[in-house]
Chain A
Amino acid sequence: MNAVNHYDAIVIGAGPAGLTAGIYLSRARLKTLIIDEGVVGGQMVLTHEIANYPGVKSISGYQLSSIMKEQAKSFGCDIKTNVSVSSLDLNGEEKELVLKDGSAWSANAVILSPGGRSRTLGVKGEDTFKGRGISYCATCDGDFFTGKEIIVVGGGNSALEEAVSLTKYASKVTIIHQFDTFQAFEHAVEEVKSNDKIHFIMESAITAFYGYEKLESVDIKNLASGATMNFKTDGAFIFIGYVPNTEFLKGTIDLNQWGEIIVRSDMSTNIEGVYAAGDSTAKRFRQVTTAVGDGTIAALAAAQFLNEIKIKQKQFLTA
């Protein structure tokens, strides 16, 4: 094996959980590599303003990511971005990992923090009209729909909050939700219900997107009656929750029914030397602050594990 590619710890995922783990591990003088299939920051960069990160009054997700990255690097942490894992073997003392670029890496401890991504509907036309009427970011693309009629899909806090913010641009916003009640907080529900521009189609789901150069209409299926109607719209904003990025871990580590990584209170998993942190783990609340907390715990537990290995190796050598 190539010695250059060996680390004490490899962290998979460079969101707040992974970056925090990188900061703690490198500061503990453990040789650490963070890899990410996208850019540094994970879903944090998707947030325009973070106003509830203690110690910082207001900051953009991008800025906070950049600071965390610089912090990790200043302690000697290596970071590789835009490269995904093609295979990994987490069993045994030496964890091995091959990346899509063909490079091979090994470590004694691995922290899994791959995070999550916006759920997509997975229906006909969704890929075709992404950026041509379908959007997943109201603050990015809202102004393209000034004076137009749009739909918002979803019934959680994000969907309802974004529906309200989109009324700044759109002349009419129709919320389409699969259940007969909303999952969002009561105050968010009251806000959409009192907004004249917002209309509702409940117990319904989008089954197809249509258009020529851009989105022109959708098929909406009433889930109670089974009837489908075609509905004219200029835009569709989709906020239907998140899915964990754990497909590459299936069959290697214990996941729950939703694909979330099962962890103990010290963030350890069912495999020795493998820890997990952040949005991809099975837990109730997903915030930057909770990811940072998870990353800290995972790194401290991994550091202790690595130190125990080193002590054992020393005892073995001097015995």
Chain B
Amino acid sequence: MSAADLNKAISENENVMVICGRMGPMCIPVYGIAEELEEEYRHVKFYDMEFDNPESYIIRNLPEVRGFMGIPFTIYYRSGKVVKATSSIQTKDQVKAILDKEFTSVVNAE
């Protein structure tokens, strides 16, 4: 996704998780975890962004990622604001713990 797409996504959605990485060893497991959690966490929107695309400046320049030196950079946005950021590979339990803490499930009004 582009920087503009990301801005649109975080302005239109309450809870957003973005994984910014490469198709490499530390990133693939995190993409795989997000793919599996999509079903369970309907109140969260999951996106990915290519680390080597210049558009990723929108993530690389965040103050929250200062000191990060391991891909993927995973950013959690709530109401357009960064609430959590992690560097390098994560386990499913670690990701779930962040999702459960930062994003409360909204009762669907439908």
Contacts and interface: CB of A to CB of B under 8 A. Distances in A.
B10 to A, nearest CB: 23
18 contacts: A38-B92, A39-B33, A41-B28, A45-B28, A47-B25, A62-B23, A81-B36, A132-B67, A132-B68, A135-B70, A136-B26, A141-B69, A141-B71, A141-B88, A144-B70, A213-B66, A214-B67, A235-B69
B74 to A, nearest CB: 10
A319 B36 CA distance: 49
Interface of A: 38-41, 45-48, 60-62, 81-82, 130-137, 139-141, 144-145, 212-214, 235
B70 to A, nearest CB: 3
A140 B70 contact: yes
Identify whether the interface residues of B are mostly helix, strand, loop, or mixed: loop
Contacts of B69: 131-133, 135, 141, 144-145, 214, 235
Number of contact residues on B: which range applies?
20 to 34
B32 interface: yes
B27 interface: yes
In terms of DSSP, what is the predominant structure of the interface of chain A? loop
B80 interface: no
A130 B28 contact: no
Interface string B9-28: 00000000000001111111
Given A213-B67, A214-B69, A61 B25 contact: yes
A140 B27 contact: yes
Contacts of B89: 131
A140 B87 contact: no
